[in-house]
Amino acid sequence: MRTFVAPLLLLAMTDVGAADSPAPAPIAIAIHGGAGTLSRERIDAALEAEIRAALDAALDAGHGVLARGGPALDAVEAAVRVLEDSPHFNAGKGAVFTAEGRNELDAAIMEGHTRRAGSIAGVRALRNPVSAARAVMERSRHVMLVGEGAEAFAREQGLAFAEPDYFRTEQRWQQLLEARQREAEAKAPRASSYFGTVGAVALDRQGHVAAATSTGGMTNKRWGRVGDAPIIGAGTWADAQCAVSATGWGEFFIRLAVAHDICARVAYAGTPLAAAADDVVLRRVPDLGGDGGVIAIDARGNLALPFNTSGMYRGWIAVDGTRGTAIFRADE
């Protein structure tokens, strides 16, 4: 005889099973679009809305990967690609100009539990440098490729390229003209010349973390200058317990190995993530004369987003699902 289960009983049985099933593992993501001397006088309501929309789009791209059970590595790449495609940030489209009037792009990506890393620097035509950095990590024997060699490798991998006009924005061109004028008048560069980077850190359902960073570098830079963003341990780092993406005056972040220092404090001293990030960003960096900020995440999904400038473009979706975007210090 076939057993008949009434619909209401079946529903009750289903509810009991659901109650007994474990909750999904936590996921979280944080992004940044650069730190610097941001002022409300230069960012009107319309521009702020566009910037926040771009930050939200990057959060959605990265968190969507995590929500579908995808790896943190995919999530940080997806988020950074959105930021690279926006003209509002100094990475990819909208990158600043060198002294020669061209764009030179840097990027890095790192997977924490494997310590795999990839990096590119000084490329001029790659549409999404972060994807080139990942290709270096996954499809070469190397960690870092630069200049023409990096672009030759990227062409072999079938990555997307763009013409110089794609990267140009009038705002960035005017910043270069201003920097040239200040140089001609023997004035110090504006602090904003040193800033502008995008990045993401994420925790996936497997408990793995990853970090990615991309930048156009410094306005009016010369001689093939490279900042901290593509240097593993300086502007980008991930290990099994911690991931960091930095933004700021790169020379100081390199000298202090900022990203690695934060995670080393978590790993070796058991320092809570927020305390480690605060001490490095709010004490060590300014003590040496530098400015900037970081986004950081640990394997439990704790987030830290400290900065010592007037603002940092940033966004987050925490393990409890709460989300936000912010620009100025008072926004939180």
pLDDT single digits (tens) 266-308: 999 999 999 999 999 999 999 999 999 999 999 999 999 999 9
DSSP 93: T
Instruction: State how far the Cα of 175 lies from the Cα of 177, in Å rounded to an integer.
Output: 5
Instruction: Map tokens 């929500």 to a residue.
Output: 67
State residue 4's pLDDT score: 30
User: Residue 55's pLDDT band (boundaries 50, 70, 90)?
Assistant: very high
Mean pLDDT, residues 129-140 taken together? 98
Whether 15 shows a pLDDT value over 90: the answer reads no
Residue boundaries of the structural domains of the chain: 25-331
Task: Name which of 314, 322, 323 is nearest 296 in CA terms.
Answer: 314
Greatest CA separation for the chain: 96
Whether 188 shows a pLDDT value over 80: the answer reads no
Q: Global pTM? A: 0.91
Instruction: State how far the Cα of 235 lies from the Cα of 76, in Å rounded to an integer.
Output: 15
Rounded (10°) angle between helices 147-156 and 129-139: 80
Instruction: Map tokens 């790192």 to a residue.
Output: 110
Q: What is the DSSP string of 151-218?
A: HHHHHHTT--B--HHHH--HHHHHHHHHHHHHHHTTPPPPGGGG---EEEEEE-TTS-EEEEEEE---
User: Residue 185's pLDDT band (boundaries 50, 70, 90)?
Assistant: confident
197 has catalytic annotation: yes
Instruction: State how far the Cα of 87 lies from the Cα of 107, in Å rounded to an integer.
Output: 17
State phi, psi for 22 to the nearest 5 degrees.
Answer: -70, 150
User: Residue 6's pLDDT band (boundaries 50, 70, 90)?
Assistant: very low
Q: Which CATH number fits domain 25-331: 3.60.20.30, 3.40.50.1220, 3.30.70.920, 3.40.50.300?
A: 3.60.20.30
State residue 252's pLDDT score: 97
Q: Look at 38 and 89; give whichever has higher pLDDT.
A: 89
Categorise residue 126: left if φ over 0, alpha if ψ from -120 to 50, beta otherwise: beta
Whether 16 shows a pLDDT value over 90: the answer reads no
Mean pLDDT, residues 76-81 taken together? 98
Instruction: Map tokens 């309501």 to a residue.
Output: 45
State phi, psi for 169 to the nearest 5 degrees.
Answer: -130, 150
State residue 193's pLDDT score: 52
Say which of 3, 14, 197, 309 is annotated catalytic. Answer: 197
